[in-house]
Amino acid sequence: MPQYHVEPTAESHFSWLRTRLSVDRTFMSWVRTAASMIGFGFTIVQFFEHLSKLEEFEAPRLPHAPLVLGLALIGTGVIGLAIALYEHATAVRHLEEPQFRDIADPHMHKGSAFVIAIAMIVTGIVAFGSIVMRALF
């Protein structure tokens, strides 16, 4: 049983709508940030791997540093996105509880951000795994 009652007015409906859109914007920001981290991590690894194959390139003092940094960025992006996905689902679930039924928009678009987030998580895991496998073998 909810601890409060929400009056069905235009003001409360638009407040609910602003909150829901804010939750979605925050989640999409996390998706952008995670995509940047995963992409940048993968790029660092690839760049320094190709750079080390050049004849003019002098061997670095810490040859595994780009690999570690790239994997850390990819892992952080994947973990951050997984946490953001969970937090977004929790917030949306709360906004769809029965006490908001009178003011909620039942036709609110759902799902596209979730699909993109899942695709980014899978992409990050594949990138992480491919880099680790290539480094080991």
Domain positions in the chain: 10-136
For residue 9, give both structure tokens.
Answer: 């007015």
In terms of average pLDDT, the best of 3-12, 50-59, 107-116, 127-136 is 127-136
H helix count then E strand count, the chain: 3, 0
Give the pLDDT confidence of 44-80 residue by residue, as tens digits: 999 988 887 777 777 777 878 899 999 999 999 999 9
Question: Regarding predicted confidence, which is higher, 60 or 99?
Answer: 99
Q: Which of 80, 116, 115, 108 is nearest to 92 (CA)?
A: 108
Q: How many CA atoms lie less than 13 Å away from 119 in the CB half-sphere? A: 9
Q: What is the distance of C-alpha 86 from the center of its chain? A: 10
pTM: predicted TM-score of the whole model, two decimal places: 0.83
